Amino acid sequence: MTAVLGAPTSFLLSLAACYLIVRTSGKAYVPNKIELSGFQSREKEKVSSFGGIAIAFAFIAASLLFSFSKQTAALCICSGLFFFIGIADDLSKLAKKSSDGLSSLLKLTLQLTASALAVYGAITLGALESRGPWIFLMRCLYIVTVVNAVNITDGLDGLAGTLSSEALIAFIILFSQSGLVFPAAFLLAAILAYLCFNWNPAKIFMGDSGSHLIGSTLGMLALLQDCWITMPLALLVMIAELASSALQIFSIRAFGKKVFPIAPLHHIFQMKKVKEVRITLLFSAIGLGCALLWILVEAIW
């Protein structure tokens, strides 16, 4: 009964919130990055980046109303902390009217702090076992990595939302007997409602607030369910996106040379004039294959 009520509630709340944001956001948007100006439509500059507010509102409200537990509390603390980092970054971009918000160093510092607080909170609540300082650090880095993988992937209409949904569907299938399936279903419902407005041509973007919330929730779900070793299989596309950007930055700073014409990977396809919808469908198809691979590996693990 919980999932039956909670998932539709989350979907409707997210749908209504997205609609209100689209209707009322006005000029609350930021310009494209300079390096994307050659192939990314200027129309995207007129799209609000506050869809993450809708996803966060729907997910947290449904979780607290329909599936409150110590594990749900740990998830909400984690997602809430990262949501505020993301919204701070979005508001910084809006205030500057620039695609650059918080500095990379400040954002990483905030992410590490939030992950430490989230993991400590989960241990204090009894949702996670305390396994010493090195495991604590690993858990923090795990969450931060997933957050940044979702964040860097959020560059095409429908891409990050679809890939995240595929991973959540796989999680729900694999752990249908776990209490964590309820908040996972609530987040999935909120994202699906958001995708109604985000598929090409997008009327709303999730912004950093959305990517931080989704990434942190996925990371904490993996830790709470103790599937953190295998879940990255479902996130391989987003991890590849993150790795391409990390490698590009390292190569430029260490050797003064680019490894790729542009990073992350989806922008390479844009440079080659591949239609955005086709890129999203291609990456989503690969992501679906990765999600199925995760299900298969878990079945024989």
Q: What is the pLDDT of residues 8-42, one digit of tens each?
A: 999 999 999 999 999 987 655 665 565 555 556 55
Q: Tell me, what's the pLDDT at 192?
A: 98
Q: Tell me, what's the pLDDT at 290?
A: 98
Q: Tell me, what's the pLDDT at 30?
A: 62
| Max CA pair span of the chain | 57
Other CB atoms within 10 A of residue 208 CB: 27
**pLDDT per residue as tens digits for the range 161-201:** 999 999 999 999 999 999 999 999 999 999 999 999 999 89
Helical segments of 226-261, H only: 236-255
Please state, in angstroms and rounded to a whole number, the distance separating the CA atoms of residues 282 and 269. Answer: 11
Give me the residue label for tokens 């912004």.
207
66 near 6, Cβ under 8 Å? yes
Please state, in angstroms and rounded to a whole number, the distance separating the CA atoms of residues 143 and 153. Answer: 16
Residues in the chain predicted with pLDDT less than 50, given as ranges, are none
Q: Tell me, what's the pLDDT at 4?
A: 75
Q: Tell me, what's the pLDDT at 42?
A: 53
234 near 294, Cβ under 8 Å? yes
Q: Which of 181, 183, 189 is nearest to 13 (CA)?
A: 189
Q: Which of 278, 279, 261 is nearest to 35 (CA)?
A: 261
CA atoms within 13 A on the CB side of 20: 11
| Residue 32 burial (10 A CB sphere; 0-12, 13-18, 19+) | middle
Q: Tell me, what's the pLDDT at 288?
A: 98
Q: Tell me, what's the pLDDT at 157?
A: 93
Q: Tell me, what's the pLDDT at 1?
A: 54
Q: Tell me, what's the pLDDT at 107?
A: 97
